[in-house]
């Protein structure tokens, strides 16, 4: 294959310009949100418009026409999409972070994905729910991976696999890069929220994966990547902090949108069975609104601090130590804790009308609640990880730090 090197985008938009492009699409994204939820997949019109706006290029190397931006931009892009629809934002988030993961592979693997198809999208699951057999030149893989967000729209997938030796013994954990054409899709995503994310099950049956498309996970956790392009700042970013923090992006946008809706209605919506003809006249409502706003602002402060920590370390060519990486997991949890609590407060303040099917608040509430239960972002787990790191204990509960 002839590598199409140095194929930069004509112009690289700033993060603010990307957000402006998304804001221009928000009415259409919001219009399609109910249909996406009913179909359990993002409406293709939305995917096409976001692709044309460059939204799926933010974590793709410039060598393939991508924008190769930053962790902060990934947050801002996902949040802007989530202001219109949470499910669409989740697909954008996961496709972008999986594109970033592809950027950690050797160039040969990256060429497989993007040299001939620079607009290819990627989904993925790192849990190694599969079996592998070592064969000449690679591995034969059979497995089932649930919760593949964006599964309907992806051209490739990064899948967790056990790495075995010639005797069949498991010697390592890896990630395998597999074309979507080698995978089957089973519709298993029947859930209360984030329905449009299409987080279905991908199935491989005796699929051959060449060795250059398999990476060992433990070295990745410590920042030892497969890419030869060590000058590319974005692909020096810390693995688990990126994988965790990126999931906070949709929550930021969902929280902002919920606050905006409740605030906008306050001057004309009465409080039933009281003398208040407008919620805005109630001190109780004012206190609820202030607390919710402060929680959402707190979430942004922690998310942006964590993103800046990741981006700064990558720019300096360093790799955060375990304590710093553990704090990013705690920061991510703090975002979820504060945004989900803020949305609950806002729905109490807005009242029972929040749960009408025509009211976007009910979808925001469900999408945020489901997304907040992602295993990598669970607050209690992440706080324990950070607490153990602070105490420098040797009984950590996961290597994914």
Q: Once rounded to an integer, what is the mean pLDDT over residues 212-230? A: 97
The dihedrals phi and psi of 153, each to the nearest 5 degrees, come to -110, -5
Give the pLDDT of residue 141.
97
CATH 2.40.110.10 domain residues, the chain: 122-216
What is 122-216's CATH topology?
A: Butyryl-CoA Dehydrogenase, subunit A; domain 2 (2.40.110)
Task: Work out the average pLDDT over 343-368.
Answer: 96
Q: Among 330, 335, 337, which Cα is nearest to 390's? A: 330
**pLDDT tens-place string over residues 114-133:** 999 999 999 999 999 999 99
Q: Compute the average pLDDT of residues 143-169.
A: 95
Residue 67 pLDDT exceeds 80: yes
> What is residue 11's predicted lDDT score, i.e. its pLDDT?
87
β-sheet bridge partners, residue 202: 145, 185
pLDDT digits over 24-62, tens only?
A: 999 999 999 999 999 999 999 999 999 999 999 999 999
Residues in the chain: 401
Is 90 exceeded by the pLDDT of residue 6?
Answer: no
**Looking at residue 2, what is its pLDDT?**
37
- CA atoms of 307 and 214, how far apart (whole Å): 28
Confidence of residue 3 (pLDDT cuts 50, 70, 90): very low
What are the residues whose beta carbons fall under 8 Å from the beta carbon of 211, sequence distance 6 or more? Answer: 137, 138, 139
Q: What is the pLDDT of residue 137?
A: 97
Please determine, for residue 8, whether its predicted confidence score (pLDDT) is greater than 70.
Answer: no
Average pLDDT over residues 316-330: 97
User: Does 4 score more than 90 pLDDT?
Assistant: no
Span 226-251, average pLDDT: 98
* pLDDT > 70: percent of the chain: 98
Is the pLDDT assigned to residue 265 strictly greater than 70?
yes
Can you tell me the mean pLDDT for 6-31? 89
pLDDT value at position 18? 98
* CATH 1.20.140.10-classified regions of the chain: 237-391
Does pLDDT of 306 surpass 60? yes
Q: Do strands 138-148 and 130-135 pair parallel, antiparallel, or not at all (unpaired)?
A: antiparallel
For domain 237-391, the CATH class is mainly alpha
CATH code linked to domain 15-115: 1.10.540.10
**CB 84, CB 77: distance < 8 Å:** no
Residues 274-287 have a mean pLDDT of 96
């Amino acid at each position: 294959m002839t590598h199409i090197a140095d194929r930069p985008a004509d112009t690289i938009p700033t993060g603010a310009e990307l957000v402006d492009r998304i804001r221009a699409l928000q009415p259409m994204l919001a219009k399609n949100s109910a249909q996406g939820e009913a179909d359990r997949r993002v409406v293709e019109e939305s995917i096409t418009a976001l692709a044309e706006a460059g939204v799926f290029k933010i974590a793709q190397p410039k060598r393939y026409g991508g924008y190769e931006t930053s962790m902060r931009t990934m947050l801002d892009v996902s949040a802007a999409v989530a202001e219109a629809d949470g499910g669409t934002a989740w697909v954008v988030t996961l496709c972008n972070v999986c594109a970033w993961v592809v950027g950690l592979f050797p160039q040969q693997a990256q060429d497989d994905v993007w040299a001939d198809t620079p607009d290819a999208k990627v989904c993925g699951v790192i849990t190694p729910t599969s079996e592998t057999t070592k064969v000449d030149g690679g591995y034969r893989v059979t497995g089932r991976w649930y919760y593949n967000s964006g599964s309907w729209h992806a051209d490739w997938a990064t899948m967790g696999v056990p790495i075995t030796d010639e005797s069949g013994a498991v010697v390592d954990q890896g990630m395998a890069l597999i074309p979507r054409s080698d995978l089957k899709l089973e519709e298993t995503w029947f859930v209360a929220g984030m329905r449009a994310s299409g987080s279905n099950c991908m199935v491989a049956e005796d699929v051959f994966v060449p060795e250059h498309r398999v990476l060992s996970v433990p070295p990745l956790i410590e920042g030892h990547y497969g890419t030869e392009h060590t000058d590319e700042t974005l692909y020096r970013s810390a693995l688990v902090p990126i994988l965790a923090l990126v999931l906070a992006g949709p929550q930021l946008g969902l929280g902002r949108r919920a606050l905006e809706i409740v605030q906008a209605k306050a001057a004309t919506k009465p409080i039933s069975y009281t003398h208040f003809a407008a919620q805005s006249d109630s001190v109780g409502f004012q206190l609820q609104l202030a607390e919710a706003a402060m929680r959402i602002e707190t979430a942004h402060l922690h998310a942006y601090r964590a993103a800046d920590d990741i981006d700064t370390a990558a720019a300096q060519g360093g790799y955060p130590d375990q304590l710093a990486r553990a704090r990013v997991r705690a920061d991510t949890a703090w975002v979820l804790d504060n945004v989900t609590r803020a949305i609950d407060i806002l729905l109490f303040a807005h009242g029972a009308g929040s749960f009408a099917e025509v009211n976007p608040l009910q979808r925001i509430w469900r999408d945020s609640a489901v997304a907040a239960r992602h295993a990598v972002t669970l607050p209690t787990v992440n706080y324990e990880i950070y607490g153990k790191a602070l105490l420098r204990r040797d009984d950590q509960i996961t290597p994914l730090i």
